[in-house]
């Protein structure tokens, strides 16, 4: 069985709105600085205005870009026949989680995040295997031992039934 992430349209819309406002501020700084400053002032402060404006535009659009990336290439949980969950992020295997290590699997929604909240058994003989050390697992977020973002409540029901 394979379960995929789904980005809520409200979260995506909010990210786009907030990002557009921040990017608009960056554009306003770029245009306002270039129009209102003299050549002497621009030669002195132009580079700083440019860097600051571009930084605001970039920072504004990054959250939206991340959500679009998740929408285009969703994270996945594959449940194998041996009852091991294999967690893929950006198409790369991130972790293998044996089901016997899990005490509870719940859906959690804390504005604006939502996803799977896993609590592990304290004395389990099996261990979670992390495959990709470059990608960070979200550990101890929202009181969960492991949080997997953007999985829906339906996904949690499917995983608990399997």
Say which residues have a Cβ less than 8 Å from residue 23's Cβ, sequence separation at least 6.
Answer: 56, 57, 60, 61
Q: Which of 72, 100, 128 is the last residue of a domain?
A: 72
Q: Considering the chain, what is the average pLDDT of its residues?
A: 87
Do 97 and 154 fall into the same domain?
A: yes
Do 46 and 31 fall into the same domain?
A: yes
What pTM value is reported for the model? 0.75
Q: Which of 72, 95, 128 is the last residue of a domain?
A: 72
Looking up tokens 């969703």 gives 74
Which pLDDT score is estimated for 74?
92
pLDDT in tens, 132-153: 666 667 777 787 888 888 999 9
Do 124 and 142 fall into the same domain?
A: yes
How many domains are there within the chain? Answer: 2
Q: Please tell me the distance from the alpha carbon of residue 14 to that of residue 1, in angstroms, as a whole number.
A: 32
Q: Please tell me the distance from the alpha carbon of residue 156 to that of residue 75, in angstroms, as a whole number.
A: 14
Do 25 and 49 fall into the same domain?
A: yes
Q: Provide the residue range defining the domain that includes 148.
A: 76-161
Other C-beta atoms lying within 10 Å of the C-beta of residue 122: 7
Do 101 and 155 fall into the same domain?
A: yes
């Amino acid at each position: 069985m394979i379960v995929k992430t789904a980005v809520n349209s409200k979260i995506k819309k909010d990210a786009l709105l907030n990002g557009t406002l921040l990017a608009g501020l960056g554009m306003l700084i770029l245009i306002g600085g270039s129009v209102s400053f003299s050549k002497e002032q621009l030669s002195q402060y132009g580079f700083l205005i440019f860097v600051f404006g571009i930084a605001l535009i970039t920072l504004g659009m990054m959250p939206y870009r991340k959500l679009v990336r998740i929408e285009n290439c969703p994270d996945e949980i594959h449940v194998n026949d041996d009852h091991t969950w294999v967690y893929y992020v950006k198409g790369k295997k991130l972790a293998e989680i044996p089901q016997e290590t899990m005490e509870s699997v719940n859906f959690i929604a804390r504005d604006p995040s939502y996803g799977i909240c896993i609590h592990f058994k304290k004395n389990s003989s099996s261990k979670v295997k992390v495959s990709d050390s470059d990608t960070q697992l979200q550990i101890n977020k929202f009181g969960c031992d492991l949080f997997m973002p953007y999985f829906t409540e339906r996904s949690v029901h499917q995983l608990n039934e399997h």
